[in-house]
Structure 1
């Protein structure tokens, strides 16, 4: 999980140095990608310090037994690498472009920056809550009052901003990035597992009825 964010940093830096285009737009796109990826890696890494092996990997270890290593390599690490490359089309589309920036490019950068800030604040608020939560409590303050998954909203926003900037520079394939990350979060590995985990929790179900799933909105009246 720590390597997920670092993978995007690696792709961005490699693209910058291969393209040898160190213009303002390219440097800014690389910096934003590195800020996002490094923050995510530090957040996940510090969260998992002193914890045992991820429960998902324990399940895989029991399931695959003697073939654990080749299976984990192909089904997890290679798959994650492919997803990183697919999502990175947005940032790479900006970094590798020689086209002049437009107002739309800078609008993309603003959305990109907003997404990083929104995701960072969401993660910080949740982490602060978890340090002092009581048994059975559900996080529903701060940004979590307006969205059940504000961190995921921030992450999608990051790649929408990057994709918009890429398209404005002629890299229309940069739209692959926001489409892939949105699909992953909305349908596969983001929101669905979390919603399933709390499906029998009355407090969470009450929170669910009045709070938007992703896009921040004023909560419904109780």
Structure 2
């Protein structure tokens, strides 16, 4: 028997199994909420408390158990793009949240779908259109770091922490559906910032995708790979994809502030702090391969971390270092 054909069949079987799991896992929360709406249950829980309760039971506990059984916590990475969509529809239909501006709601729902489709497309493109082929490299590193304790540490490090992030950054989606105020210029500003974030992140991730693919093709042909991507948006920022993602969440924070709920900026702030830490990890990872280390150090000296800006001369940094 051809072992290559066996591996292909096994891979397809695993891909279909993971796809089925991904579609089925949110059903408990969805079915419960549909029943909740159908029977008009009187729930004493605040909409945010109910959202957190469903998240804890369906994502933290259920996803965690599946991750333990599969020895891979791949699913939370995929659901980063799905949960905000579920939340925005949850807030838009909750019986306790009936007084809000219809147009603002529809614009935010549409933008959330566009954001989610873009991010999902990038996820599957990066994973070569496979479901659950691998988990986030940061989780894999932590798995090695914590060893036999990872089974319980993962519950907090992977899932409970994600609840804080996702519920936090989605707070403006709640505010949009809990405050009735006419559309004004600051709504337009917030929407413009969100749209810019989606566009910047799309082009940055697309440029990175083609760079990785070209390097893979060069490697297959026995040609030397290009150490760094320094073209397009990446010429002006070392992490333009992160910059675009932050614009999206801070644009939503502007909407929350405009509706008199400035406290909702805390979600965008937490996300920015998280991305700052992730940036540090990514840059340390970029410096590990010898073929790329020197070129990336030079890239760090001349190129802005997040906010796109004109490149500086490496001689300028060397002169500062020598004075």
**Taking structure 2 as the reference length, what is the TM-score of the superposition?**
0.63
Q: Is the 8 A contact 1:99 1:170 kept in 2?
A: no
Label 1:2 to 1:102 Cα distance change in 2 as closer, same or farther (>3 A): same
The number of aligned residues is 219
Q: Is the 8 A contact 2:101 2:180 kept in 1?
A: no
CA-atom RMSD in angstroms: 2.1
1:17 maps to 2:93: yes
Query: Quick one: distance in 2 between partners of 1:86 and 1:161?
Result: 14
Q: Is the 8 A contact 2:187 2:255 kept in 1?
A: yes
SS for the counterpart of 2:183 is coil
Q: Is the 8 A contact 1:93 1:173 kept in 2?
A: no
Give 1 or 2 for the bigger CA radius of gyration. Answer: 2
SS for the counterpart of 1:152 is helix
Gaps of 5+ in 1: none
Label 1:55 to 1:213 Cα distance change in 2 as closer, same or farther (>3 A): closer
- Name the residue aligned to 1:155: 245
- Name the residue aligned to 2:179: 97
1:193 maps to 2:193: no
1:141 maps to 2:227: no
Cα drift, residue 38 of structure 1: 2.9
- Name the residue aligned to 2:300: 208
Q: Is the 8 A contact 2:105 2:176 kept in 1?
A: yes
Of residues 40-49 and 103-112 in structure 1, the stretch that sits farther from structure 2 once superposed is 40-49
Q: Is the 8 A contact 2:194 2:250 kept in 1?
A: yes
Of residues 32-41 and 209-218 in structure 1, the stretch that sits farther from structure 2 once superposed is 32-41
Q: Is the 8 A contact 2:238 2:305 kept in 1?
A: yes
**Taking structure 1 as the reference length, what is the TM-score of the superposition?**
0.89
Query: Quick one: distance in 2 between partners of 1:137 and 1:58?
Result: 24
> Which residue, out of 107, 110, 135, partners 1:28?
107
Q: Is the 8 A contact 1:109 1:162 kept in 2?
A: yes
> Where in structure 1 do 4 or more consecutive aligned residues deviate above 3 Å?
49-67
- Name the residue aligned to 1:184: 274
Label 1:77 to 1:167 Cα distance change in 2 as closer, same or farther (>3 A): same
Query: Quick one: distance in 2 between partners of 1:104 and 1:218?
Result: 29
Gaps of 5+ in 2: 1-76, 219-224, 315-323
Q: Is the 8 A contact 1:26 1:95 kept in 2?
A: yes
Cα drift, residue 66 of structure 1: 7.4
1:171 maps to 2:253: no
- Name the residue aligned to 2:203: 121
Q: Which has the higher contact order (CA 8 A, sep 6+)?
A: 1
Label 1:166 to 1:52 Cα distance change in 2 as closer, same or farther (>3 A): closer
1:38 maps to 2:117: yes
1:65 maps to 2:136: no
Deviations 1:21-66 (A, max 9, x none): 5711011112112221232123113312454444444444453437
Label 1:54 to 1:110 Cα distance change in 2 as closer, same or farther (>3 A): closer
Q: Is the 8 A contact 2:233 2:240 kept in 1?
A: yes
Cα drift, residue 161 of structure 1: 1.0
> Which residue, out of 112, 116, 127, partners 1:48?
127
Of residues 133-142 and 116-125 in structure 1, the stretch that sits farther from structure 2 once superposed is 133-142
